[in-house]
Amino acid sequence: MKRYTVLFFVVISVVLLSSCFQQYNEDESFRLGWSLTREDNFNKMPEEAKWTKTLRSKPHMYRYMSDSELVYEINEGNIVLKGIVDPEGNPKLPFLTGGINTKAFKAGETTRIEVRARINPTSGVTPYIALVPNNTNDNIVIDIIEQYGADKFIYQSVTSEYTTTEGMPDNPPSSALVSVNPSEYHIYGVEKYPDSLVFYVDGSRTKKYPRIPTDIPGQFPYNDLDFDLFMGLRLNKDTDPEVLPVDFYIDWVRFYEPAADK
């Protein structure tokens, strides 16, 4: 999703995942200790009380966002977020993209979030599922996924003052590269604890980002803020219009809290 810092400043831990992805829907053991609190299935356009269409604003990830019906579609139980050429031919706004957001968790809460989605890999397009604070303009992000162009892998990463301004993306490593076929459905998830973030793909743990003892500021702000969940498409100024339209399919979103007996 959003990346205010260039990815080559991020030290990547390459995670090779096996056929365990194919067994995901048959093995629910990874969810032991969690209780489902909310599930949104997109059989129709989401309720405005729960989900908001992301509007255009200055950050790169929101540059071409639109509430136009042209970039939102319900298709076989998915909400489809689209990237298209602006039909009005506006040279200052060559593209329109769809994105939605909702409240995710409050400061201090322990939570698990899962999204079942598939991507249409396309050059110059970056689909993302990300958690962003709703009460600060600081460069703080939990990227459940980012996927670039035709890559056959996704990134799961964190961004903070510590990883960017303070130049500490590798202690501990802030990004993992996960080998998947993004054009197939996968379940992307993250668990947020007071002292760590744990990432998953199809029930397999892919990365842990811990709180560590350090005097450098901003290392683990993720437990101290309220976060919203954003899903959408990011296009570049130089994206080739010929590769559009592009689609990002979201099947469902689930939110969990620790079970009472955990």
Stronger pLDDT, 159 or 25, i.e. the higher one: 159
What digits encode the pLDDT tens for the residues 98-126?
A: 999 999 999 999 999 999 999 999 999 99
CATH number, residue 241: 2.60.120.200
> Is 136 within the bounds of a domain?
yes
Report pLDDT for 20: 46
Q: CA 250 to CA 116: how far, in whole Å?
A: 6
Per-residue pLDDT tens digits for 192-238: 999 999 999 999 999 999 999 999 999 999 999 999 999 999 998 88
In this prediction, what percent of the chain has a pLDDT beyond 90?
Answer: 78
Identify the helix (H) or strand (E) that includes residue 5.
Answer: none
Range(s) of the domain holding residue 198: 7-42+101-258
For the ranges 7-11, 77-81, 144-148, 193-197, the lowest mean pLDDT is seen at 7-11
Residue 158 lies in a domain: yes
- 198 domain-assigned: yes
Query: Is residue 239 assigned to a domain?
Result: yes
pLDDT for position 178: 97
Residue 180 counted as domain residue? yes
Q: Is residue 74 part of a domain?
A: no
Q: How many CA atoms lie within 13 A of 195 on its CB side?
A: 2
User: What span, in angstroms and rounded, lies between the C-alpha atoms of 123 and 224?
Assistant: 36
Dump pLDDT digits (tens) for 39-92: 999 999 998 889 999 999 888 889 999 999 999 999 999 999 999 999 998 888
pLDDT over 50 at 129, yes or no: yes
The DSSP line for 130-176 is: EEEESS--SS-EEEEEE--TT-SEEEEEEE-TTTTTT--TBTTB-EE
Higher pLDDT, 8 or 155: 155
Q: What angle do CA 200, 122, 187 make, to 5 degrees?
A: 20
Classify residue 86: in a domain, yes or no. Answer: no
Residue 3: band (very low, low, confident or very high) from pLDDT cuts 50, 70, 90: very low
Mean pLDDT, to the nearest integer, of 233-246?
Answer: 93
Give pLDDT, residue 135.
Answer: 83
Establish if 251 belongs to a structural domain: yes
Domains identified in the chain, total number: 1
**pLDDT given for residue 27 in this prediction:** 60
Q: What is the pLDDT of residue 15?
A: 43
With a threshold of 0.85, does the pTM exceed it? yes
Per the prediction, the chain carries an average pLDDT of 89
Q: For residue 23, give the nearest of 187, 240, 259 by alpha carbon.
A: 187
pLDDT digits (tens, 9 = 90+) for 149-197: 999 999 999 999 999 999 999 999 999 999 999 999 999 999 999 999 9
pLDDT band at 21 (very low <50, low <70, confident <90, very high): very low
pLDDT of 136: 78
